[in-house]
């Protein structure tokens, strides 16, 4: 048995559950991951990603040297098409980074000074010429709170722009906007571990077993050991259906009629909580008027869910002593994602299942630190702490904190991720800085995204791998993964936990916050301003600066979160944290009911495109695949597959494992089919992790008008047999999509 040199306790870099990890390190190399049994988040349990998915840290393709394009070094014009397509090649004893460089004729390895000077010179040039509206930045839901806070500070304090966003826009923006409108807060109201206190709970739009496996374990425990009743409302026959009292298999995009019909039943049968409604809410009368048309029969016609099942689910939820709702991106990733989340919030207000332990409204956040990146203000409408940027009082607080003249910060709402790219043209966004995100995998309608990426005048990629988006960059800055940095992540429970470095960065890679400070100092010197602080000696200093203004984090110190973290709001240094929100009131005062209408998805099936495509994750992989596809996890799930119901497969003459072509109005992919009852008749499912068959080549870029989240969960597609020889090479994971 190998004896570790040290065991470092940290937080998982994958999903929002935030499991505690123990990294066993020998000779500056992690060789094993375990978890402490006394962790309040995961009690020693880990899923396959947390347990085995760490080896990407040592993958030969890790980028560990800054890169600059040759045309920049030679002072030449940027070529028209700067996207570099390149093959993934075996390391053959030499670093693939070097191999890539020798094969990419116009990338040149360089030192940090040279790379950062090119970034500072070009960002300064564009800012001086075109002003704040030409500048934009993508923050990163995988990076720490400290990294994200500094990145948005650099863009707001130096470039005076709110064009700051990150992938929360692409996952839970609908939930965030709905919760803000109805309650004044935007996070989960209760903790996931409270599920064992539920009598009844609804899981909707969430394949929890694959996306949040440890929360799924707790849900199963609630059913098996504590007698809770689970209602699954989902188009797919997800694993949790085996444990559920009821499964309501609705058609994708028909959430509002189903949830509103449940509200209709609760009102009609007088199962409402009158005391809660009268003491804690507003807008009830207008709301119940809007429910008239949402009879269970009307909802059945639209959603396919039998009216009697809607009635039964409504009664179960309303009459429970403690009931909660857990939801995922099947609710929010729609062009009416905000309305879908509001329909769930209406149910909680009607029944008073909010503001107590074992109840609540719980959007399960996707990435490890998407909650934290949002808390840190990496959004175009909010400073850290969800303070609106168009409010003078809020702006004044951050002007003071960042030593900026009164009125200096922009009050103009910024652009969202998808808007930033669609504004990439003359007179719009000219320079984009991407920290750790991969829009060429995560944005909808990738063929269109590709055109936008080409339009950027200057692009910086700061990442650990050269990914599909980095291929468009002018400068590449090699950063560090979770195992090489200190800081904090905030999980889906609002629990702020420590991240600790297991060893030093590989090669010349640097931690993100230090790269940002170094760049910000260079920018200030070129722009002859000397305002905000950039000379931090450690990440805790950064978190304290943010917490001095954002009262949710004021009482959080690294000392206090050393062992098990703290659940914010933590307004003072002796506050114990707040696992359950809204016990007395809502941040906006009264909870607001929202009358809703049914708006169909933007693309209904047609003769030409008869299937609805829905997209999501699988257990073994994570997002654009940068980490998991460069890990042993890729051996367990090596290629993209499309799930199709057996009845559909038979009609189309398709057998399990056959190659098929899936086309939409925007693109096509070729991949193998899995014939499975998991997906309903008329619905196909493709995970979005695989560059060689990127699901987002097909998805629709129609946006929710309020949250600006794209409609990833429903678009119309056709599926037909393809030839074996048309299948893409699954080993070529970089830039091999058919675009």
Enumerate binding residues for ligand SF4 (CB under 6 A): 12, 14-15, 17-19, 42, 46-47, 49-50, 212-214
Q: How far is the CB of 41 from ligand SF4 (least distance, A)?
A: 8
Rank residues 14 and 243 by Cβ distance to ligand SF4 and give the closer one.
Answer: 14
Rank residues 49 and 666 by Cβ distance to ligand SF4 and give the closer one.
Answer: 49
Rank residues 146 and 620 by Cβ distance to ligand SF4 and give the closer one.
Answer: 620
Rank residues 422 and 626 by Cβ distance to ligand SF4 and give the closer one.
Answer: 626
Long-range contacts, 120-124 (Cβ 8 Å, 24+)? 120/519, 120/522, 120/523, 120/526, 121/526, 122/72, 122/431, 122/458, 122/474, 122/475, 123/159, 123/431, 123/433, 123/458, 123/460, 123/523, 124/523, 124/526, 124/527
Q: How far is the CB of 45 from ligand SF4 (least distance, A)?
A: 8
d(CA 642, CA 657): 10
Q: How far is the CB of 374 from ligand SF4 (least distance, A)?
A: 18
Rank residues 209 and 417 by Cβ distance to ligand SF4 and give the closer one.
Answer: 209
Contact 255, 204 (CB under 8 A): yes
Q: How far is the CB of 390 from ligand SF4 (least distance, A)?
A: 35
* DSSP codes, 305-363: --HHHHHHHHHHHHH-SSEEEEE-HHHHSSTTHHHHHHHHHHHHHHHT-SSSTT-EEEE
Chain centroid, CA 129 distance in Å: 34
Rank residues 46 and 277 by Cβ distance to ligand SF4 and give the closer one.
Answer: 46
Q: How far is the CB of 125 from ligand SF4 (least distance, A)?
A: 42
Q: How far is the CB of 634 from ligand SF4 (least distance, A)?
A: 15
- b/e burial code for range 656-682 (CB count within 10 A of at least 16 → b): eebbbbbbbebbbbbbbbbbbebbbeb
Contact 683, 676 (CB under 8 A): no
- b/e burial code for range 583-595 (CB count within 10 A of at least 16 → b): eeebeeebbbbbe
Q: How far is the CB of 56 from ligand SF4 (least distance, A)?
A: 13
Among candidates 268, 153, 87, which has minimal Cα distance to 734?
Answer: 87
Rank residues 97 and 208 by Cβ distance to ligand SF4 and give the closer one.
Answer: 208
d(CA 175, CA 180): 8
Rank residues 375 and 448 by Cβ distance to ligand SF4 and give the closer one.
Answer: 375
d(CA 690, CA 637): 10
Q: How far is the CB of 278 from ligand SF4 (least distance, A)?
A: 40
In the Cβ-directed half-sphere of 451, how many Cα atoms lie within 13 Å? 8
d(CA 162, CA 389): 8
Q: How far is the CB of 47 from ligand SF4 (least distance, A)?
A: 3
Strand partners, 459: 432
Nearest residue (beta carbon) to ligand SF4 = 50
Q: How far is the CB of 214 from ligand SF4 (least distance, A)?
A: 4
Rank residues 17 and 519 by Cβ distance to ligand SF4 and give the closer one.
Answer: 17
Rank residues 195 and 429 by Cβ distance to ligand SF4 and give the closer one.
Answer: 195
d(CA 221, CA 322): 16
Q: How far is the CB of 736 from ligand SF4 (least distance, A)?
A: 26
Rank residues 42 and 198 by Cβ distance to ligand SF4 and give the closer one.
Answer: 42
Q: How far is the CB of 617 from ligand SF4 (least distance, A)?
A: 10
* H-helix segments, 487-564: 512-526, 539-547
Contact 639, 671 (CB under 8 A): yes
d(CA 138, CA 161): 13
Report CA-CA distances (Å) from 464 to 110, 178, 538.
16, 34, 21
Q: How far is the CB of 49 from ligand SF4 (least distance, A)?
A: 4
- Burial of residue 274 (CB within 10 Å: 0-12, 13-18, 19+) is exposed
Rank residues 356 and 623 by Cβ distance to ligand SF4 and give the closer one.
Answer: 623
Report CA-CA distances (Å) from 459 to 78, 82, 429.
11, 11, 11
- Burial of residue 77 (CB within 10 Å: 0-12, 13-18, 19+) is exposed
Q: How far is the CB of 18 from ligand SF4 (least distance, A)?
A: 6
Rank residues 19 and 654 by Cβ distance to ligand SF4 and give the closer one.
Answer: 19
Helix, coil or strand: residue 577: coil
Contact 330, 235 (CB under 8 A): yes
* DSSP codes, 263-295: HHHHHHTT-S-HHHHHHHEE-HHHHHHHTTT--
Report CA-CA distances (Å) from 259 to 172, 243, 375.
18, 21, 29
Rank residues 21 and 424 by Cβ distance to ligand SF4 and give the closer one.
Answer: 21
Q: How far is the CB of 11 from ligand SF4 (least distance, A)?
A: 8
**N-term to C-term CA, the chain:** 48
Rank residues 142 and 229 by Cβ distance to ligand SF4 and give the closer one.
Answer: 142
Rank residues 243 and 284 by Cβ distance to ligand SF4 and give the closer one.
Answer: 243
Q: How far is the CB of 702 from ligand SF4 (least distance, A)?
A: 30
Among candidates 641, 614, 81, which has minimal Cα distance to 333?
Answer: 614
Helix, coil or strand: residue 450: helix
């Amino acid at each position: 048995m190998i004896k570790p040199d040290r065991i470092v306790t940290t937080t998982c870099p994958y999903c929002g559950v935030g499991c505690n990890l123990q990294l066993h390190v020998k000779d500056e190399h992690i060789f094993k991951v375990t978890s402490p049994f006394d962790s309040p988040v995961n009690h020693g349990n880990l899923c396959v990603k947390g347990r085995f998915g760490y080896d990407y840290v040592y993958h030969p393709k890790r980028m560990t040297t800054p890169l600059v394009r040759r045309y920049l070094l030679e002072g030449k014009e940027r070529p028209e098409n700067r996207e570099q397509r390149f093959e993934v090649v075996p390391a053959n004893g030499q670093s693939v980074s070097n191999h890539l460089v020798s094969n990419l004729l116009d990338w040149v390895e360089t030192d940090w000074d040279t790379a950062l000077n090119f970034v500072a010179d070009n960002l300064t040039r564009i800012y001086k010429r075109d002003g704040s509206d030409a500048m934009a930045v993508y923050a990163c839901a995988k990076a720490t709170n400290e990294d994200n806070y500094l990145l948005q500070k650099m863009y707001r304090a130096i470039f005076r722009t709110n064009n700051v966003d990150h992938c929360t826009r692409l996952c839970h923006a609908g939930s965030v906007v709905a919760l803000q409108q109805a309650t004044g807060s935007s996070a989960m109201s209760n903790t996931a571990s409270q599920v064992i206190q539920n009598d009844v709970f609804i899981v909707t739009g969430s394949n929890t077993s694959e996306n949040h496996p440890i929360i799924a374990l707790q849900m199963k425990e609630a059913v098996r050991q504590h007698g809770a009743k689970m209602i699954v409302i989902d188009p797919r026959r997800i694993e949790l259906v085996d444990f559920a009292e009821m499964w309501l298999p609705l058609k994708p995009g028909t959430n509002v009629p189903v949830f509103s019909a449940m509200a209709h039943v609760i009102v009609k049968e007088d199962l409402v909580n009158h005391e809660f409604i009268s003491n804690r809410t507003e807008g009830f009368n207008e709301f119940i008027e809007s429910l008239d048309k949402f009879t269970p029969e009307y909802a059945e016609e639209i959603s396919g869910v039998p009216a009697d099942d809607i009635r039964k689910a409504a009664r179960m939820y309303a009459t429970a002593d403690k009931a909660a709702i857990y939801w995922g991106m099947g609710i929010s990733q729609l062009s009416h994602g905000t309305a879908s989340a509001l329909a769930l919030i209406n149910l909680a207000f009607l029944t008073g299942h909010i503001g107590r332990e074992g109840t609540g409204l719980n959007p399960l956040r996707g990435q490890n630190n998407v909650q934290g990146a949002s808390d840190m203000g990496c959004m175009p409408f909010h400073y850290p702490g969800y303070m609106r940027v168009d409010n003078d009082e809020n702006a004044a607080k951050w002007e003071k904190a960042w030593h900026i003249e009164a009125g200096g910060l922009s009050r103009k709402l910024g652009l969202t991720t998808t808007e930033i790219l669609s504004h990439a043209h003359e007179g719009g966004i000219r320079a984009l800085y991407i920290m750790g995100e991969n829009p060429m995998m995560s944005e909808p309608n990738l063929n269109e995204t590709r055109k936008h990426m080409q339009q950027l005048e200057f692009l910086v990629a700061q990442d650990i791998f050269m990914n599909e988006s980095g291929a468009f960059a002018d400068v590449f800055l090699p950063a560090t993964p979770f195992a090489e940095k200190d800081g904090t992540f905030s999980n889906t429970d609002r629990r702020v936990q420590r991240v600790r470095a297991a060893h030093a960065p590989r090669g010349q890679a640097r931690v993100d916050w230090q790269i940002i400070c170094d760049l910000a100092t260079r920018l200030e010197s070129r722009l002859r301003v000397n305002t905000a602080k950039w000379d931090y000696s450690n990440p805790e200093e950064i978190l304290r600066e943010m917490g001095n203004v954002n009262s949710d984090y004021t009482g959080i110190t690294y000392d206090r979160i050393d062992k098990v973290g703290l659940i914010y709001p933590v307004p003072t240094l002796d506050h114990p944290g707040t696992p359950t929100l809204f016990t007395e009131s809502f941040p906006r005062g009264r909870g607001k009911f929202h009358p809703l209408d049914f708006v169909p998805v933007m693309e209904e099936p047609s003769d030409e495109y008869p299937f609805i495509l829905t997209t999501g994750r699988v257990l073994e992989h994570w997002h654009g695949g940068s980490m998991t596809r460069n890990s042993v996890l890729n051996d367990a799930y090596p290629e993209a597959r499309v799930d199709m119901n057996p009845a559909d497969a038979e009609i189309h003459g398709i057998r399990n494992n056959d190659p098929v072509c899936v086309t939409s109005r925007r693109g096509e992919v070729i991949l193998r089919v899995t014939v499975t009852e998991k997906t309903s008749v008329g619905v196909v499912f493709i995970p979005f992790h695989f560059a060689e068959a990127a699901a987002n080549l097909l998805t629709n870029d129609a946006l929710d008008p309020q949250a600006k989240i794209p409609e990833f969960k429903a678009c119309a597609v056709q599926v037909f047999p393809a030839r074996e020889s048309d299948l893409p090479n699954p080993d070529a994971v970089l830039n091999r999509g058919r675009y």
